[in-house]
Amino acid sequence: MDFIKVTKDHAPYVALIELNRPKELNALNIQLMSELGETLKALDTDDEVRVIILTGNEKAFAAGADIRQMAGKGTIDMLQGELFGIWTQISKTSKPTIAAVSGFALGGGCELAMSCDMIIASESAQFGQPEIKIGVMPGAGGTQRLTRAVGKAKAMEMVLTGKFIDAEEALRYRIINRIVPVEVYMQEATKLASEIAAMSPLATQLAKESVNRAFEVSLEEGLYFERKNYYMLYSSEDQKEGMNAFLEKRKPDFKGK
């Protein structure tokens, strides 16, 4: 892998994916995105991994899709390219995903962070959908996920002016979970990942699926879906382990079975 660094044992059951194209502020070119796609596919079926952290570096999470690579493209190239599938792939990953964002998260980079389940941001994080300034518009969730998160007025402003918002504003508009100093944003993301990794991976998977369902269906349908997932967990050993551990006043040891 040239543009992705993967550490499978970053913490127990926690994998870390680092976008690694620092000179270009982690601009998301086709190779980087296909490496990311392959990595996600492998980690999603790896029993040793329960939570995935996606990060960049202090200066940039990712400054968007690679403009140099897109500049000469036509409609058919875009249609036939597989680039956009990766944004969908990350949102469909069955394991919980956390974006650890510092510096720029712009365009496709902002969309990538928003495709994760949670976002831990450093004080220097900046979010934006500046595509409008280069004659296009968001194409991987910036008009949809962003609008669901921040509401119509703010989404319109961000998408139509391309202006960035800082971490404080992103928190106020519920794009991110919390802001921490730059020196500790990775530690904070790892702490959150480790907390989740200590739970039953079956329960986290079905709980994640159920929360995501809330964006897709009516309340009644969502409640029905939630209930079925809840029942399903009663055929797991982890349910017995979790409840017995509580009664025996000890820490549960979840096996994902």
For residue 203, the tally of other CB atoms under 10 A from its CB is 19
135 assigned to active site? no
Q: How far apart are CA 239 and CA 125, in angstroms?
A: 39
Question: Which residue, 236, 244, 175, is CA-closest to 205?
Answer: 236
Does residue number 49 form part of the binding site for ligand HXC (CB under 6 A)?
no
Tell me the window of 41-49, 127-135, 181-189, 219-227 that interacts with ligand HXC (CB under 6 A): 127-135
Tell me the window of 20-28, 42-50, 148-156, 242-250 that interacts with ligand HXC (CB under 6 A): 20-28
- In the complex with ligand HXC, the residue whose CB is nearer, 9 or 82, is 82
35 assigned to active site? no
Residue among 25, 54, 155, 170 that touches ligand HXC (CB under 6 A)? 25
For the purposes of burial, counting CB atoms within 10 Å of the CB of 62, is it exposed (0-12), middle (13-18) or buried (19 or more)? Answer: buried
65 assigned to active site? yes
Q: Give me the count of residues in the chain.
A: 257
Question: Which residue, 131, 39, 125, 48, is CA-closest to 89?
Answer: 39
Which one from 111, 125, 141, 193 is the annotated catalytic residue?
A: 111
Give me the least distance between CB of 43 and ligand HXC, in Å please: 21
Q: How far apart are CA 227 and CA 219, in angstroms?
A: 12
Report the interface residues with ligand HXC, using CB under 6 A: 24-25, 27, 63-68, 83-84, 104, 106-108, 130-131, 134, 139-140
